[in-house]
């Protein structure tokens, strides 16, 4: 069987198209976000809970992004000084805003976090003036995508109770882009299993 000049040209064109597509795919892959897993363990009550199924993607979540101090040692020294009667800084209190300015992350890093959340469809509700947290609302589907996790519903029997209650919880440790990982210490609102205990 003999190939014509046209068929040879078409074959080369097809090969070029395949190679171009592969190059674009590799380039896209190389530009994909690098992710960092947060050290958030699955709450223990979930380990023995009965799975109901996925939490509806349209359900609304109230997310809290907890942010560490930029200068935790400086903050500790300040608190110790304010509390120590022998310190020249004794009872020289500062406002939450001043604490953020002195010990919190810089505004540009705070903006990195909020910009990422907005890019994922989150609605920012509050950025704390002490720069230690960001409150935002998002749907389950948006949160799952933004934090590379999966959120399910469970029947959980709580301590001291014989009746199971419906709760939701992430089943994969959440991740954030590596670019903002140094500024995120914890993500709240991805579960309602762990509840504050009221002390009597």
**Residue 148 included in any domain:** yes
pLDDT range class, residue 50, cuts 50, 70, 90: very high
Residues 143 and 117 in one domain: yes
Look at phi and psi of residue 189 and say left if phi exceeds 0, alpha if psi is from -120 to 50, else beta.
left
Residue 136 lies in a domain: yes
159-164 average pLDDT score:
76
Q: Which letter does DSSP use for residue 161 in this model?
A: -
Query: Same domain, yes or no, for 40 and 136?
Result: yes
Same domain flag for 63 and 157? yes
Q: Does residue 111 form part of some domain?
A: yes
Mean pLDDT of 165-186: 97
Calpha distance 92→150 (Å, rounded):
46
Mean pLDDT across the chain: 83
Q: What is the CA radius of gyration of the chain?
A: 25
157 in the same domain as 79: no
| Domain that includes residue 99, residue range | 70-104
Rounded-to-integer distance, Cα 89 and Cα 64, Å: 32
Q: Decide if 139 is inside a domain.
A: yes
CA 20 from centre of chain: 35
Domain assignment of residue 44, yes or no:
yes
- Residues 124, 111: contact at Cβ < 8 Å? no
The answer to whether residue 24 is domain-embedded is: no
How many separate domains does the chain show?
2
| Domain co-membership, 126 together with 163 | yes
In tens, the pLDDT along 54-73 reads: 999 999 999 999 999 998 78
Q: Is residue 19 part of a domain?
A: no
Q: Same structural domain for residues 115 and 139?
A: yes
Does position 198 have pLDDT exceeding 90, yes or no? Answer: no
Arithmetic mean of pLDDT, 145-166:
90
* Domain assignment present for 142: yes
pLDDT digits 0-9 by tens, 99-112: 889 889 999 999 99
CB 171 within 8 A of CB 45: no
Where do runs of H (alpha helix) occur along 32-106? 44-47, 72-83, 96-103
């Amino acid at each position: 069987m003999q190939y014509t000049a046209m068929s040879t040209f078409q074959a080369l064109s097809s090969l070029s198209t395949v190679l171009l597509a592969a190059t674009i795919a590799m380039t896209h892959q190389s530009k994909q976000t690098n992710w960092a897993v947060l050290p958030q363990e699955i709450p223990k009550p979930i380990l023995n809970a009965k799975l109901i199924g996925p939490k509806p993607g349209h359900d609304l979540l109230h997310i809290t992004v907890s942010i560490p101090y930029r200068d935790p040692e400086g903050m500790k020294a300040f608190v110790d000084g304010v509390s120590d009667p022998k310190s020249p800084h004794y009872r020289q209190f500062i406002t939450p805003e001043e604490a953020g300015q002195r010990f919190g992350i810089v505004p540009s890093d705070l903006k990195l976090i909020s910009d990422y959340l907005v890019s994922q469809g989150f609605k920012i509700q509050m950025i704390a003036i002490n720069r230690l947290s960001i409150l935002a609302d998002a749907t389950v589907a948006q949160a799952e995508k933004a934090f590379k996790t999966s959120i399910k519903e469970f029947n959980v029997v709580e301590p001291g109770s014989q009746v199971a209650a419906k709760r939701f919880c992430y089943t994969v440790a959440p991740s954030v882009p590596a670019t903002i990982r140094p500024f995120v210490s914890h993500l709240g609102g991805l579960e309602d299993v762990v509840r504050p205990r009221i002390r009597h």
